[in-house]
């Protein structure tokens, strides 16, 4: 029984944040006609208001994010085109990253460099993982296969670490940038601010959820390495 309870606790810690993030975003996605605009309209307004003339806005299917290389805020269709608390708060969060970039926020620059390096390593690792079963079948190359597996695990670990390093950047985008903008600018009513704070927290914790899920995958591959 204690082992089963421990497993449940571990799974709750690893998967719980991700489930909470999804629940908060989904529960506040109801269309609200009383809001002054969609997430895309808010982002466009904020770009003009803060005079970030080199920042552009695009529709994406790859998840809401800010691309510092092209200085582009990319929003999913639901955020771009809907009037909901989730859409408005998410757009404000992503604009927060654009504002960080414009203000030369050092932590964002550090995360960007780390993320680029991680992408390169992950590309190599994704190719290397296909070599593992082939190397394992060749006599005398089992050790090489294990070394390739270690490299693959290292790339996963690096990605997980970067997600955790991202936390200060995400919290600043949510509570150092987006929240004051939404509150001081009266873009949402005072009665909605409690839910807006939850949404902004969910936006900030999105990467934590990914990191914890990465830990779960890492543990599975690590067990394979121990065999």
Domain coordinates in residue numbering, the chain: 2-226
pTM score: 0.78
CA distance 148 to 52: 45
Report pLDDT for 217.
Answer: 56
User: In a 3-state reduction of DSSP, which class is residue 58?
Assistant: strand
Residues 6+ apart with CB under 8 A from 203: 89, 90, 93, 170, 173, 174, 178
Instruction: Give pLDDT tens digits for 4-58.
Output: 665 565 555 556 667 888 999 999 999 999 998 999 999 999 999 999 999 999 9
Mean per-residue pLDDT, 144-171: 74
Report pLDDT for 115.
Answer: 75
Report pLDDT for 164.
Answer: 72
Cα-trace Rg, the chain:
21
Query: Is the model's pLDDT at 2 over the cut of 80?
Result: no
């Amino acid at each position: 029984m204690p082992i089963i309870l421990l497993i449940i606790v571990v799974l709750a810690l690893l998967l719980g944040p991700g489930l909470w993030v999804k629940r908060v975003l989904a529960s506040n996605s109801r269309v609200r006609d009383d809001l002054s605009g969609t997430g895309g309209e808010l982002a466009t307004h904020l770009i003009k208001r803060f005079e970030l003339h080199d920042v552009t806005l695009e529709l994406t299917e790859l998840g809401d994010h800010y691309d510092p290389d092209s200085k582009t805020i990319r929003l999913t269709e639901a955020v771009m085109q809907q009037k909901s608390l989730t859409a408005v708060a998410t757009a404000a969060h992503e604009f927060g990253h654009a504002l960080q970039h414009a203000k030369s926020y050092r932590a964002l620059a550090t995360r960007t460099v780390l993320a680029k390096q991680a992408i390169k390593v992950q590309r190599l690792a994704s190719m290397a993982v296909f070599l593992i079963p082939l190397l394992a079948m060749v006599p005398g190359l089992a050790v090489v296969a294990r070394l390739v597996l270690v490299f693959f695990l290292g790339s996963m670990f690096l990605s997980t670490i970067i997600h955790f390093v991202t936390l200060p950047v995400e919290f600043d985008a949510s509570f150092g940038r987006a929240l004051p903008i939404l509150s001081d600018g009266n873009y949402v009513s005072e009665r909605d601010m409690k839910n807006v704070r939850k949404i902004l927290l969910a936006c900030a914790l999105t990467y934590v959820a990914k990191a914890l899920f990465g830990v779960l995958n890492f543990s599975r591959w690590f067990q394979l390495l121990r065999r």
